[in-house]
Chain A
């Protein structure tokens, strides 16, 4: 009876690999660049190249294909939905079939496929980032990336700290939710039968205890941070300073060369 089992998005899978050890700033940079590049090089051969890069990276970082596919599952529904919209609303003259006023054209189908694949690749790329980067490294990386913005009053440290805490608590909250759902199911709660309103109402006995727990946890965490004299980012030093070395340079160079190849392939097509 687990309604939320198998949520792996945003999870970290520890392993001893070259990619796990890369500086988080380097991985963030590569991820952001690849997002932009996937959007500007949308031909099918180019996407095949991106897919092969994802497969290679997953192999090198010992991420099981199963986990990767599973992580993108929740988003897949969204992708399929937008693809369907694309099929019917792109317009075009070569109609394949029509349902009432909805007409599916060849152009629409190609656009839908292209958009869908693009989104899927993006999700897989970010999944790779979170699989290979621990939450604390990730927020350190983000803090460093947003660092320059502090000059304009952007609270880089606070935002990074908030992200760390949020990421840290996602699995805990899933666990708590599952436990509360199980407890209510044991007392006869029924989340699957009845109309939409009845089902939505059935979640009240889950949501209230969950909120109570969350507020309690937040309170405890705040006290614990204060007890350790946490005063925000000013003057804090790191236990593990980020280091940008030759591995990072190599990875970045390899990525740039690969991207250039993909872009020129995309141009030629």
Chain B
């Protein structure tokens, strides 16, 4: 049970003056229970990739396989895939349409055929997961604050109980507390056995919360591995448009000048190492 992308390529408007190569030969694999972060600069093809994962776009070449089902196959499979891969678009609060929070969140499960008690249950479970009090159920979603709206929108995807959760820049426009709450949510989703695919342009955030990281630049994969492998790799390659976290660049500098040897690439321990190096410098 996993989500596999094999040699995926996609070009917008092929043959027209507005042609844009969005993805080239992208391959990776995401397992249940892990957080995979896809990191890249604006225009690197992250959103295009996200739309391939639940069959909104079908591969022009290569393939996307979800639990053994190919996204470019018959419509029946596509329906199963969409139910099983929940996609939270960038600024998901813009998709809100219902008069009450309850109606908004039940949209997904209702479309997948849930009714009555079961539907109700899904709605309150999702609200619980995302930390929305039950009293919100009858509130008008358009009158909520920005952060609350985003939670309602994410809950509306969670309510369909997806096995894979794809979030396109879910932290965009959130304040620091909002980001922290969201990352806790992602962690708890993955601990529940859900595969979380988290799209971001923030490498530091990705290094802190992910099990694995995929870095894409101009539509191609430039690095793929665990956070410590990635921080090791990034000392050698230069990814266009990617801003390194200060702590990483500092540790690279210290390593270059010989102030620390044997760099542990674990971002959690970098600070400790640097502190130790500073002591030695005295």
User: Once bound together, how far apart are the Cα atoms of A180 and B90, in whole Å?
Assistant: 11
A188 adjacent to B83 (CB under 8 Å): yes
Among candidates B15, B55, B94, B107, residue contacting A187 with C-beta atoms closer than 8 Å: B107
Among candidates B56, B112, B156, B160, residue contacting A182 with C-beta atoms closer than 8 Å: B56
B157: chain A residues within 8 A (beta carbon): 186-187
B89 adjacent to A186 (CB under 8 Å): yes
User: Once bound together, how far apart are the Cα atoms of A179 and B82, in whole Å?
Assistant: 16
A185: chain B residues within 8 A (beta carbon): 56, 82
A184: chain B residues within 8 A (beta carbon): 95, 107
Among candidates B17, B54, B79, B89, residue contacting A13 with C-beta atoms closer than 8 Å: B17
B170: chain A residues within 8 A (beta carbon): none
> Which among B15, B95, B111, B156 has the greatest number of chain A C-beta atoms within 10 A?
B95
B157 and chain A: residue at smallest CB distance: A187
Among candidates B16, B92, B111, residue contacting A188 with C-beta atoms closer than 8 Å: B111
Closest chain A CB from B262 CB (angstroms): 46
A209 adjacent to B97 (CB under 8 Å): yes
User: Once bound together, how far apart are the Cα atoms of A80 and B89, in whole Å?
Assistant: 39
A209 adjacent to B96 (CB under 8 Å): yes
Closest chain B CB from A263 CB (angstroms): 35
Work out how many contacts link A and B, with CB atoms closer than 8 A.
67
A183 adjacent to B89 (CB under 8 Å): yes
Closest chain A CB from B14 CB (angstroms): 11
Among candidates A67, A182, A204, A206, residue contacting B89 with C-beta atoms closer than 8 Å: A182
User: Once bound together, how far apart are the Cα atoms of A190 and B97, in whole Å?
Assistant: 16
A205 adjacent to B97 (CB under 8 Å): yes
Q: 1/0 per residue B31-65: CB within 8 Å of A?
A: 00000000000000000000100111100000000
User: Once bound together, how far apart are the Cα atoms of A185 and B111, in whole Å?
Assistant: 10
A257 in the interface (beta carbon within 8 A): no
B142 in the interface (beta carbon within 8 A): yes
Q: 1/0 per residue A154-184: CB within 8 Å of B?
A: 0000000000000000000000000110111
User: Once bound together, how far apart are the Cα atoms of A13 and B86, in whole Å?
Assistant: 37
Closest chain A CB from B257 CB (angstroms): 48
B79: chain A residues within 8 A (beta carbon): 188
- Given A64-B16, A179-B89, A190-B111, CB of A204 within 8 Å of CB of B54: no
B17: chain A residues within 8 A (beta carbon): 13, 64, 67
B142 adjacent to A212 (CB under 8 Å): yes
A29 in the interface (beta carbon within 8 A): no
B160 adjacent to A180 (CB under 8 Å): no
Seen from chain B, the residues whose Cβ lies within 8 Å of a Cβ on chain A are 15-17, 51, 54-57, 79, 82-83, 86-87, 89, 92, 94-98, 107-108, 110-112, 142, 156-157, 160
Extra contacts, 14 of them, besides A185-B82, A205-B107 (Cβ < 8 A), are A1-B55, A66-B16, A179-B89, A179-B94, A182-B89, A183-B89, A184-B107, A186-B82, A187-B156, A188-B82, A189-B111, A190-B111, A205-B97, A205-B98
Q: Which 5 A-B pairs have the closest CB atoms?
A: A188-B111, A208-B97, A183-B95, A187-B108, A186-B87
